[in-house]
């Protein structure tokens, strides 16, 4: 990362609001920090060319710092090589997760929201196999820097650590290691129990260690590092200390930014969750400097401290720093309030009342409403409410393969007939005969879109399930087809072998199919298809 200075003939109009033209006529200039259009040109503050000043932009020496550049879409564990320039640094493998494909282990839920983009990495510090804990099973990721860290220069790395819970994610020491040569990657080849890079024979050095802890959240950490020799390759993961623990451990990493220490002074940092009413932004305080914060280019009145308590809502925030007559402007911080969604299915007896976000419901139907989650974010909740019409009755349900039904505080996932006793809040008991069958469908493994009228489309047969989504990827992880529509059914999903109007070449493609039935929570399926022309 380097600061990029963009200098454009700046008149410091907050000091000199008037200027004379060649005829000696005075013209009023824009005052750059009062949220007014002073010169009447329709442009306010930073949006006016009169107010431009040098911009300090943060860049990372770590390539692909947020794991968004893809070689392929991960379909399973241990596929870090799909993440651009990253690679498995150790024989014990890290896991690459991305919203385009594999989203991680169900036993280790990913904290939400993800700090930056849709990609992130998971790793272990020790591993349990048949009740035996292996302390030297340490998983690392590594990469070559875009340019070497210079010897004797102070650097800073800022990154996000994710935690599942206190059982699987106890406090951890995160370590950074460096090497003068990229050929040192990977280390410990063919030996997953070698432990940390310092156990290897390729001259790795420890650049720094920081302790981090959390529970079901992401924690931003900052570590200052320095080396007496140029560093070209880095490795990130657990510290070298042996860690004994009775359970499997798991952590996540995202948004790793490395640059010279001084460059971070003009980087806007977030304090707290974006939905928290006490959410704030700050930059490093500099003695003798004057500050002014802006939202979407317009000054926030009275915001003249290094720290800004954000009361003006979402937007793009910047801070201007004036020191010794020089004007510097931070990069933009995009403050957004995430909107979350959730769905639930509920069955009640006739005459019972279901409380949905403060509204009492007694009729079958689909309902939706907004609420606040524990962080204060707006959440859209959708409810499918079914009211049983009689005290004794039958209910026929078709579930997709791998799907389950939550009914009367029980979970059903296999075919059969079951008698279920329901007790409503009003005391009406209903005996229901629940008949569960499986909704089968067929996904072909090949098709030939050659226009001969035979097998020209990739179709899914035999299921009329709604709320379906189909994505198809090339062998390189590129999306070549996406179909998703409210109320669409599986056997309405099809692909003609084209992407953006162009035919795609023969070969093997991967499909990802998401289906949500009326009763279950939905299931994802994946597989491969062969396109033959």
How does pLDDT run across 43-87, given as a tens digit for each residue?
999 999 888 888 876 778 999 999 999 999 999 999 999 998 999
Mean pLDDT, rounded, for 440-464: 85
Instruction: Select the more confidently predicted residue: 521 or 119.
Output: 119
Same-domain status, 518 and 407: no
The CATH number assigned to the domain holding 493 equals 2.60.40.1220
* Residue 284 pLDDT greater than 90, yes or no: no
Question: Is 268 among the domain residues?
Answer: no
Same-domain status, 371 and 318: no
Tell me the C-alpha distance between 331 and 317, whole Å. 8
Would you state the pLDDT for residue 131? 77
Mean pLDDT, all residues of the chain: 84
Question: Is 276 among the domain residues?
Answer: no
3-state secondary structure of 94: coil
Same-domain status, 92 and 241: yes
- Residue 123 in tokens: 């790793």
Q: Determine whether 348 is exposed, middle or buried from the number of CB atoms within 10 Å of its CB (0-12, 13-18, 19+).
A: buried
* Residue 532 pLDDT greater than 80, yes or no: yes
pLDDT digits (tens, 9 = 90+) for 369-427: 888 766 667 777 888 888 766 556 688 888 877 788 888 778 888 888 988 876 655 45
Distances (CA, A) of 23 to 9, 13, 19: 21, 20, 11
Would you state the pLDDT for residue 85? 92
Question: Is 349 among the domain residues?
Answer: yes
> Domain tally for the chain?
4
Dihedral-angle region of residue 409 (phi above 0 means left; psi in -120 to 50 means alpha; beta otherwise): left
Same-domain status, 240 and 158: yes
Chain-centroid distance of CA 205 in Å reads 31
Would you state the pLDDT for residue 11? 37
Would you state the pLDDT for residue 12? 40
Tell me the C-alpha distance between 306 and 311, whole Å. 15
Same-domain status, 193 and 328: no
**Which is it for strands 405-407 and 458-459: parallel, antiparallel or unpaired?**
unpaired
Mean pLDDT, rounded, for 343-352: 76
Lowest mean pLDDT among 36-45, 416-425, 434-443: 416-425
pTM over 0.85: no
């Amino acid at each position: 990362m380097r600061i990029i200075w963009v200098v454009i003939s700046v008149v410091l109009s907050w000091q000199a609001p008037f200027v004379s033209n060649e005829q000696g006529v005075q013209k009023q200039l824009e005052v750059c920090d009062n949220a007014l259009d002073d010169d009447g040109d329709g442009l306010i503050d930073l949006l006016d060319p009169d107010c431009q000043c040098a911009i300090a932009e943060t860049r990372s020496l770590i390539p692909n710092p947020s794991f968004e550049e893809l070689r392929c879409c991960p379909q399973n564990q241990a596929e870090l090589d799909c993440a651009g320039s990253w690679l498995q640094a150790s024989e014990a493998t890290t896991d690459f997760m991305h919203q385009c494909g594999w989203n991680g282990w169900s036993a280790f839920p990913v904290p939400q929201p993800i700090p930056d983009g849709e990609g992130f990495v998971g790793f272990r510090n020790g591993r349990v196999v048949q009740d035996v804990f292996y302390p030297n099973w340490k998983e690392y990721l590594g990469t070559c820097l875009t340019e070497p860290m210079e010897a004797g220069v102070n650097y800073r790395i800022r990154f996000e650590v994710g935690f599942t819970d206190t059982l699987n994610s106890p406090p951890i020491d995160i370590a950074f290691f460096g090497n003068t040569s990229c050929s040192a990657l990977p280390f410990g080849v063919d030996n997953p129990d070698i432990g940390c890079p310092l156990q290897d024979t390729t001259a790795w050095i420890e650049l720094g260690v920081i302790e981090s802890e959390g529970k079901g959240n992401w924690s931003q950490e900052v570590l200052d590092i320095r080396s007496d020799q140029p560093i070209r390759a880095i490795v990130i993961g657990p510290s070298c200390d042996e860690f004994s623990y009775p359970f499997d451990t798991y952590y996540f990493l995202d948004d790793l930014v490395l640059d010279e220490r001084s460059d971070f002074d003009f980087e806007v940092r977030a304090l707290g969750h974006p939905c928290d009413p006490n959410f704030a932004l700050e930059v490093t305080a500099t003695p003798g400097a004057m500050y002014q914060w802006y939202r979407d280019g317009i000054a926030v009145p009275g915001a003249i401290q290094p720290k800004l308590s954000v009361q003006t809502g979402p937007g793009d925030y910047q801070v201007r720093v004036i020191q010794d007559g020089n004007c510097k402007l931070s990069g933009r911080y995009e403050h957004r309030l995430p909107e979350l969604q959730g769905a639930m299915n509920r069955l009640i007896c006739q005459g019972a009342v279901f409380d949905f976000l403060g509204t009492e419901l007694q009729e079958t139907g689909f309902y939706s409403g907004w609420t606040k989650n524990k962080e204060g974010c707006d959440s859209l909740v959708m409810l499918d409410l079914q009211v049983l019409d009689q005290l004794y009755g039958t209910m026929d349900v078709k579930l997709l393969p791998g799907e389950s039904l939550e009914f009367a505080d029980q979970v059903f996932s296999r075919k059969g007939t079951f008698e279920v006793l329901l007790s409503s809040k009003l005391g009406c008991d209903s005996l229901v005969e629940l008949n569960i069958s499986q909704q089968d469908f067929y996904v072909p493994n090949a098709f030939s879109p050659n226009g001969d009228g035979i097998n020209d489309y990739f179709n899914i047969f035999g299921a009329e399930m709604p709320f379906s989504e189909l994505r198809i990827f090339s062998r390189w992880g590129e999306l070549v087809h996406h179909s998703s529509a409210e109320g669409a059914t599986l056997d309405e999903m099809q692909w003609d072998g084209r992407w953006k109007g162009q035919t795609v070449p023969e070969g093997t493609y991967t499909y990802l199919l998401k289906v949500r039935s009326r009763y279950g929570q939905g299931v994802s399926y994946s597989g491969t298809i062969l396109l033959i022309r």
